[in-house]
Amino acid sequence: MSETIKTTCPYCGVGCGVRASVEAGGGVAIAGDESHPANTGRLCSKGTALGETLDLADRLLHPEIGGRRTDWDTALDAVADGFSRVVAEHGPEAVAFYVSGQLLTEDYYVANKLMKGFIGGANIDTNSRLCMSSAVAGHGRAFGEDVVPGCYADLEGADLIVLVGANTAWCHPIVYRRIEAARAERPDTRLVVIDPRRTATAEEADLHLPVAPGWDVALFNGLLAHLERAGRVDAGFVEARTTGAAEALAAARAGDADPAALARATGVPEADLRTFLDWFADTPNTVTVFSQGVNQSVAGSDKVNAIINCHLLTGRIGKPGAGPFSITGQPNAMGGREVGGLASTLAAHRGFDEADTIADFWHAPNIARQPGLKAVDLFEAIGDGHVKAVWIMATNPAVSMPDADAVRRALAGCDLVVVSDCMAATDTARLADIRLPAATWGEKDGTVTNSERTISRQRPFLPLPGEARPDWWIVTQVARRLGHAAAFPYEHPHEIFTEHAALSAHANDGRRLFDIGGLAGLTRADYDALTPVQWPVSRTGGTGNVRRETENGKRKTEDGEDNARAGDDTFPVSRFPSSVPKRLFLDGRFPTDDGRARFVAVTQQPPAHAPDENYPLTLNTGRLRDHWHTMTRTAKSPRLSGHIPEPCVSVHPRDAQVAGLTDGHLAELRSHWGRMLARVAVDEGQRRGSLFAPIHWNAEYAAAGRVGALVNPVVDPVSGEPEFKHTPVAVAPWAAAWHGFVLARAPLTPPAEADYWIRVHGEAFERYELAGAAPPAHWPLAARALFGVDDPDADWIEYSDPRAGHYRAAWLRDGALVACLFAAPRPPALPDRSWLAGLFAKGELDADDRIALLTGRPADPEADAGPAVCSCFGVGRKALADAIRERGLATPEAVGEALGAGTNCGSCLPEIRTLLREARPSAVTEGA
């Protein structure tokens, strides 16, 4: 085994440390980094499976123009010439970059510098606009700067943790494990989950408030008014350290401030609402964690400020174990915010009013002086022809944007579309005129910043394949061809990082908190060896990134600067061996003109588009436990695809009954903007009148599974973040005449009769779920054509009952299973897929296996493990239920000891506890 490389996970904003080792056979062993303060060795199911996502299948490995391979010089010249021509004819506002939280900070920095500093326009925005820009706006309005004041360690010091719009157990599993550990060590710690759905996280909470979609402002305004009534105002702090409290309180009182009225407005049971109000009022150490459920709204910025207002009123900010805490969705959303990757900021947490300062540092006389187009507006401008050239980096907007079909049309009609990506056939890359092969995780070299402001290194452990190159290199090469070689001299990401660090300190009088000037003097060797460091890291003569213990257990920087803001001796020691965190605002000073935080008066607004008789339900979208974004990485992993393998829609039982939906069958969802097909999951935890569908499926893996096609493109007027949580929709059964699935060793083209299909990677096969409005005229001929079998003497097993609509076929070669197909009129008549998947691991099938293929039932009943629950160890639902019943397992710990399930990332623990409750309710104890 080769040297172990310490790097950072490329998924969510938790920023977990990873240890990667290339094995002799070419595989990569992945483990958590015990020394990283974010995760101390733990990884979630996605991080654990990273080694399964590194193959070169479907990679873009060479530059292409018009779908034909070319060389780098020709491709780069074409990009530069195309952008130069558009700027010369139409001005800098006619070009745009659309970038990504998947970029490293160094990639982000050069892209932002090129667009805003030298092309001279500000039309560079990021897919992070879609997930956290409301937090940016809320922080800016309240604090004067986009800063997250808290740290993960605050979760261990809190007596009350409030999760708002965050299914943390699934979407940020390592953060949730810290919460679980804190509650186990301090059993009096309470957990409140505010979410319209009863998610896996809500199942574990002491209190779940199923707030009506979009009514968070009313809820937190009601809390603000209650805090005043209960006498919980920190008058000294409010008077000395804030402004605007009177206006915010007046707005809160003007709403549904009375608990009974508030309960009716928000749809929360009054008794539960009163409990929450009292708990929050009576618990000084309260952390409120919020994520996409708050941000992705037409009122997202107001929701953020409504939460912050409650913490300001009670002085619960800048203190250990207390504060508002935004957790981000992407690995480097924070790094993108730092460099200015949003169209609404310039660079280094500075706005366009400081353009002269940035221009002086960059030597950029053509600097942009006003904000550019935010994501939704940007793609509308592409569609109407105002933006004529766009460069899309490391993201897939044809899937992820709202009104995704309109985005497809816009890109299809754009004069010049450049895509730099690691994957060759994303929905967006298919629309590109020029495709540039970019490096991906395992090959990239740079830094990322996580949700608690910790900067970590992402280090390469694999060589660049084919002609793939880092994003910073690609942008730099184009910049030079545009005539800006002197400003883009970079030959290594270290040079970019130190410039970025220096810019953060340039003309910074200490008021702006984003300051990593202490890292500006890093040598190449220092940069290569950089350990995780939380900003601010001010310039004091040393590197400022190495910390050491002092006699009293506090830490100091190597240059002797005491981290005075880090905390105090009363804060409980974290069970995680992390560095002492740097909290902001401990001194009560904020980066505003007067040093005071600002209350923001907010009021509850009605939804931009309310349900009506044509679209009577509300669609909420979000992530699943084991998939990520548009699946270009996670779909490569068989175990990650096993938990929920196809697009689905969660529906309350009463709504399902009204709409005529059946669990496990297919449904069609329609909105004013588009349609999708999804598998119905009847779920009592789903709020009545509201549906939930995941965001992940794209055209490579599903025929009609893009939820973005449905989503309302309306945005928050302050942040520009789209409303992904409240789209009026209609749902109805999709009348399929047949359902089926295929398992095959080689990829296939789904049959023309399959109006619905999804593709799933298995361990030694491809799986296709199929359905159609009309069956093939002749199943035996259709099956042979699908598998490409034209030999009449092929080893072919077949069962057909045309009258009942059942068909089964299997093709074997040298006794080994090559492919099988099962079809039936209804989904329940189809066999489970897990035992069939096991047949592909056999070298030669025996007589019992052949009979099983004909009957559709496993020869060994225990071979059917059921759908995956624990992705880390591949443990299925049936295997868990059988073990719980037969072995008398009564706790999650017993299940973990017996089967391993739940002992790694823990994201399956809520499902394991549910199985335990269902099996023997009286015997179950709530273990870890």
Does 599 map to a domain? no
* pLDDT tens sequence across 743-794: 999 999 999 999 999 999 998 899 999 999 999 999 999 999 999 999 999 9
Same domain for 857 and 883: no
Show the 3-state SS of 362-414. Answer: HCCCCCCCCCCCCHHHHHHHHHCCCCCEEEEECCCHHHHCCCHHHHHHHHHHC
Q: How far apart are alpha carbons 414 and 389 in whole angstroms?
A: 7
Please work out, in degrees rounded to the nearest 5, the angle formed at the alpha carbon of residue 743 by the alpha carbons of 739 and 745. Answer: 155
φ, ψ dihedrals at 154, nearest 5°: -60, -25
| Peptide bond just before 827 cis, omega within 30 deg | no
Listed in sequence order, the residues at least 6 apart from 81 whose beta carbon sits closer than 8 Å to its beta carbon are none
Continuous H helices in 414-492? 471-481
The CATH number linked to 45 is 2.20.25.90
The CATH number linked to 908 is 1.10.10.1100
- The domain boundary, picked from 326, 358, 382, lies at 326
Question: How many domains are there within the chain?
Answer: 6
Q: Is-contact 873 902, C-beta < 8 A? A: no
Q: How far apart are alpha carbons 856 and 592 in whole angstroms?
A: 68
Name the residue among 64, 552, 147 with its Cα closest to residue 349. Answer: 147
Owning domain of residue 788: 738-863
Same domain for 742 and 710: no
* pLDDT of the residue at 245: 98
Residue 543, pLDDT > 80, answer no
pLDDT band, residue 567 (cuts 50/70/90)? very low
Q: How far apart are alpha carbons 93 and 97 in whole angstroms?
A: 11
* pLDDT of the residue at 562: 35
End-to-end, the C-alpha distance of the chain in Å comes to 35
* pLDDT of the residue at 557: 34
How confident is the model over 267-294, as a mean pLDDT? 97
Strand 4-8 to 454-458 pairing: unpaired
Residue 426, pLDDT > 70, answer yes
Same domain for 746 and 708: no
* pLDDT tens sequence across 403-414: 999 999 999 999
Q: How far apart are alpha carbons 51 and 703 in whole angstroms?
A: 28
pLDDT band, residue 907 (cuts 50/70/90)? confident
Strand stretches in 231-272, DSSP E: 242-243
3-state helix, strand, coil in the chain (%, to 5): 35, 20, 45
Sign of CA dihedral 128, 131, 132, 138: positive
The CATH number linked to 667 is 2.40.40.20
Q: How far apart are alpha carbons 621 and 135 in whole angstroms?
A: 18
How confident is the model over 173-178, as a mean pLDDT? 95
* 544-553, 753-762, 861-870: the lowest-pLDDT one: 544-553
Q: Is-contact 879 899, C-beta < 8 A? A: yes
How confident is the model over 239-261, as a mean pLDDT? 95
pLDDT band, residue 578 (cuts 50/70/90)? very low
Q: Compute the mean pLDDT over every residue in the chain, rounded to the nearest whole number.
A: 92
Query: Which residue type sits at 850?
Result: R
Listed in sequence order, the residues at least 6 apart from 72 whose beta carbon sits closer than 8 Å to its beta carbon are 63, 467, 469, 477
Strand-pairing partners, residue 690, are 618
Does 347 map to a domain? yes
And the tokens for 546? 């190495």
Give 332's Cβ-side CA count (13 Å radius): 31
Does 190 map to a domain? yes
Residue 797, pLDDT > 50, answer yes
φ, ψ dihedrals at 266, nearest 5°: -90, -10
The CATH number linked to 209 is 3.40.228.10
Name the residue among 778, 647, 658 with its Cα closest to residue 708. Answer: 647
Give 865's Cβ-side CA count (13 Å radius): 17
And the tokens for 210? 């199923």
Same domain for 181 and 41: no
How confident is the model over 885-901, as a mean pLDDT? 90
Distance of CA 345 to the CA centre of its chain: 22
Q: Name the strand (E) or helix (H) holding 126.
A: strand 124-126
Three-state SS at 766? strand
Does 510 map to a domain? no
Show the 3-state SS of 723-754. Answer: CCCCEEEEEEECCCCEEEEEEECCCCCCCCCC
pLDDT band, residue 554 (cuts 50/70/90)? very low
Continuous H helices in 482-580? 493-505, 524-528
Task: Give the position of tokens 């349900």.
Answer: 611
Show the 3-state SS of 583-623. Answer: CCCCCCCCCCCCCCEECCCCCCCCCCCCCCCCCCEEEEEEC
Same domain for 755 and 725: no
Which of the given ranges, 107-111, 576-580, 630-634, has the highest pLDDT on average?
107-111
Listed in sequence order, the residues at least 6 apart from 740 whose beta carbon sits closer than 8 Å to its beta carbon are 769, 770, 771, 807, 821, 822, 823, 824, 830
Residue 619, pLDDT > 70, answer yes
Same domain for 318 and 226: yes
Same domain for 288 and 153: yes
* pLDDT tens sequence across 591-604: 999 999 999 999 99
Q: Decide which of 163 and 917 is more confident.
A: 163
* pLDDT of the residue at 511: 83
Does 855 map to a domain? yes
- The domain boundary, picked from 474, 491, 508, lies at 491
Q: How far apart are alpha carbons 159 and 155 in whole angstroms?
A: 9
- The domain boundary, picked from 473, 491, 509, lies at 491
And the tokens for 269? 């049971």
| Backbone region of residue 288 per phi and psi (left: phi > 0; alpha: psi in -120 to 50; beta: other values) | beta
Three-state SS at 359? helix
Residue 371, pLDDT > 80, answer yes
Query: Which residue type sits at 555?
Result: R
Same domain for 802 and 653: no
Does 562 map to a domain? no
Q: How far apart are alpha carbons 812 and 818 in whole angstroms?
A: 5
Output the CA–CA distances (angstroms, integers) from residue 302 to 144, 148, 298, 595, in the order listed.
Answer: 15, 17, 9, 22
Same domain for 271 and 233: yes
* pLDDT tens sequence across 192-231: 999 999 999 999 999 999 999 999 999 999 999 999 999 9
Same domain for 752 and 719: no
* pLDDT tens sequence across 104-144: 999 999 999 999 999 999 999 999 999 999 999 999 999 99
pLDDT band, residue 573 (cuts 50/70/90)? very low
The DSSP symbol for 922 reads G
Strand-pairing partners, residue 810, are 797, 820
Q: Is-contact 620 213, C-beta < 8 A? A: yes
And the tokens for 33? 């980094």
* pLDDT tens sequence across 296-330: 999 999 999 999 999 999 999 999 999 999 999 89
Three-state SS at 572? coil
Residue 835, pLDDT > 60, answer yes
* pLDDT of the residue at 255: 86
pTM of the prediction? 0.93
Q: What is the DSSP string of 144-165?
A: SS------TTHHHH-SEEEEES
Q: How far apart are alpha carbons 754 and 819 in whole angstroms?
A: 17
* pLDDT of the residue at 556: 36
* pLDDT of the residue at 921: 56
The CATH number linked to 404 is 3.40.50.740
Listed in sequence order, the residues at least 6 apart from 620 whose beta carbon sits closer than 8 Å to its beta carbon are 196, 197, 213, 690, 691, 692, 693, 724, 725, 726
Same domain for 313 and 168: yes
* pLDDT of the residue at 926: 44
| CB neighbours of residue 363 within 10 Å | 12
How confident is the model over 421-439, as a mean pLDDT? 97
Residue 152, pLDDT > 90, answer yes
* pLDDT tens sequence across 646-702: 999 999 999 999 999 999 999 999 999 999 999 999 999 999 999 999 999 999 999
Sign of CA dihedral 137, 143, 147, 150: negative
* pLDDT tens sequence across 504-513: 999 998 889 9
Same domain for 240 and 153: yes
Three-state SS at 59? strand
Does 610 map to a domain? no
Task: Give the position of tokens 């002799």.
Answer: 24
Does 716 map to a domain? yes
Task: Give the position of tokens 């970079």.
Answer: 490
Strand 875-876 to 454-458 pairing: unpaired
Residue 555, pLDDT > 70, answer no
Q: How far apart are alpha carbons 174 and 128 in whole angstroms?
A: 21
